[in-house]
Amino acid sequence: MTRLREAHAHIALHGRSSSFVDLAACKSAAEALDRIASASADLEPSQWVIAVGARPEGWSVPGWFSPGDLNEAVGGRPAFVWCFDHHAGMASAAGLAAAEIGGETPDPAGGTFLRDAAGQPTGVALESAAHAVWSAVPEPTPHEWRGHFRRGLADFVRCGFTEVHELHAPPWLGPMLADLADAGELLVDVTLYEPVADIVAAFDRAEAWQRDNLRLGGGKIFADGTLNSRTAWMLHPYADPVPGHPTGHALWTVDAIAEAATQCASLGVGLACHAIGDGAVRAVLDAYELAKVPADRSFRVEHAELLDKADVPRFAAMGVVCSVQPCHLLTDIEALRRLVPDRLDRVLPMRELIDSGCAPGELLWFGSDAPIVRPDPQDSIDAATLRRRPGMPEADAIAPGQALTESEAWAAFARG
C-alpha cells in the first residue's frame, strides 16, 4: 500500500477549527448569517463568535454581508468570520472595538481594512489587517492546544497519511510533539516549518525536540495573499481588484526572499514560500536563483495556483519543489472565473510541470492546506483528474488540458 504524504497542513489549527461555526457548505450570505445567528444564541454576551469556511466569492451573490447584518446576527457580540483561505475575514462592531480598530486606525504593513464612504472600517480585513483583529481573540491554553492537535492529527490518520508537513509551526509545537513522540502518541512522521524571522532560534531549539519521526524542515514565508481575497500577487491585473491593489499584495521583495533563502541554506535547512499568484511564484523563483539554493528538494514554492508558462520549466531546472493543493480548485472555480477570466489556462498547470521534469512525488507534491479545506486526498485526486467538481459538466472544467491520470495524482501524494 502506498504511504501517503500530506505536504501542506496546519494540524493544530485544523483541530481547533472543528470548534468554530462551519460555513463551508453555505451557498449564500443569508445562509451563513443564519448559521452564525444560531450558534451565537447559545453564547454569553461577552463571548466571541468565531466562524470559518466562508466563501464570499462563491456565494449566490458574491461579496461579504453588510456590517449591520453581521452585528444583528451575533447580537452585539464580538465576532470574527474567516474567509476559508484565512487571508481575509470580517469582524463585528464589537470585534473591531475589542481589537481597538476604528476610523483613525491606519492600515498595517501588508494589510488593508476595507472602509465605507466615510472612511470607517466595514469590518472586512485583508492579510495582516485580519490578523490585527484576530489578535484580540482569546488564545487557547497549552492544554487546549494539545487537545486541538490530537483532534487534527486523528483526522489525518483517518485519511491514510503517514507523513504530515506542518507549514507554519509556532515555537511551542516542536517540544509538545516531542512529548507525544516519547509517549508513543505521535502516529505519523511530522516535519515542521517555522516562521523564517525566527529561523536561527528555531534551528537552535530543534536540537532538543527532534526525534526519529519529528524534524525541522526549515523556514516559512508568505510572498503574497490569496485568490479569493484578491491579495495574491499577479503579473496581470484582476478583473475586479481591491481598490488600490490592481495586482494584489506583494508581501516580500525578491532580495528579501533571497536573503531568507541564503540564511536557511547556511543552516542546512530549507524554505517554503507561500506564493499563489503568478507574480509571487516568479519572485520566489527569481530569489532562489539569486541565492543559488541547493537542488535537493529542500526549497519549495507553496500553492502556485497561477503559474506563467515561462516559469514552468524553472522548477525542474533548479530542483525546487512545486507543492500544490489541487483540491483548492474545487472551492475556487467561481472566483477564478470572475477574477482572472483571461488567465484560466494558467491555473495549476500540472501537466506542463510533469512534462518539464517535475516527477510526481519528487518535485510535484500534493497537500490540502487543512483547515483551509478538508484533508481528504480524494478531493485533490478529483480536482487533478477532472479539473472540476465531481458532477459538474465537462464544459465547466478549468484548463482541462492540464489534467493528470489517477496514478500520476496519487504518486504526488506518495512519500519519497
Is 2 a residue whose pLDDT tops 80? no
Mean of pLDDT values over 366-395: 96
Give per-residue pLDDT as tens, 312-350: 999 999 999 999 999 999 989 999 999 999 999 999 999
Cβ 228 vs Cβ 127: under 8 Å: no
Taking the CB of residue 184, how many other CB atoms lie within 10 A of it? 7
Residue type (1 letter), 24: A
pLDDT of residue 415: 83
Is 1 a residue whose pLDDT tops 70? no
pLDDT of residue 261: 98
Which residues have C-beta within 8 Å of that of residue 332, sequence separation ≥ 6?
227, 228, 305
The whole-angstrom separation of Cα 337 and Cα 332 is 9
Q: How confident is the model at residue 84 (pLDDT cuts 50, 70, 90)?
A: confident
Give per-residue pLDDT as tens, 22-66: 998 999 999 999 999 999 998 888 899 999 989 898 898 889 999
Residue type (1 letter), 392: M
pLDDT of residue 18: 87
The residues pairing with 360 across neighbouring beta strands, listed in sequence order, are 364
> E strand or H helix at 40, and its extent?
helix 29-40
Q: How confident is the model at residue 85 (pLDDT cuts 50, 70, 90)?
A: confident
The whole-angstrom separation of Cα 305 and Cα 325 is 8
Domains of the chain: 4-12+142-411 (3.20.20.140), 16-134 (3.10.310.70)
This prediction has a pTM of 0.90
Give per-residue pLDDT as tens, 269-300: 999 999 999 999 999 999 999 999 999 999 99
Give per-residue pLDDT as tens, 343-371: 999 999 999 999 999 999 999 999 999 99
- Mean pLDDT over all residues of the chain? 95
pLDDT of residue 87: 85
Residue 85: which region, alpha, beta or left (left: phi > 0; alpha: psi -120 to 50)? Answer: alpha
Burial class (CB in 10 A: 0-12, 13-18, 19+), 26: buried
Is 217 a residue whose pLDDT tops 60? yes
Is 181 a residue whose pLDDT tops 60? yes
Give per-residue pLDDT as tens, 105-154: 999 988 999 999 999 999 999 989 999 999 999 999 999 999 999 999 99
Q: How confident is the model at residue 187 (pLDDT cuts 50, 70, 90)?
A: very high
The whole-angstrom separation of Cα 364 and Cα 353 is 8
Is 416 a residue whose pLDDT tops 90? no
pLDDT of residue 318: 97
Give per-residue pLDDT as tens, 229-255: 899 999 999 999 998 999 999 999 999
pLDDT of residue 325: 98
- The DSSP-derived string for 228-274 is TTT-S--SS--SSPBTTBTT----S-HHHHHHHHHHHHHHT-EEEEE
The residues pairing with 111 across neighbouring beta strands, listed in sequence order, are 127
In angstroms, the Cα distances linking 168 to 181, 216, 253, 267, 348 are 20, 11, 20, 18, 23
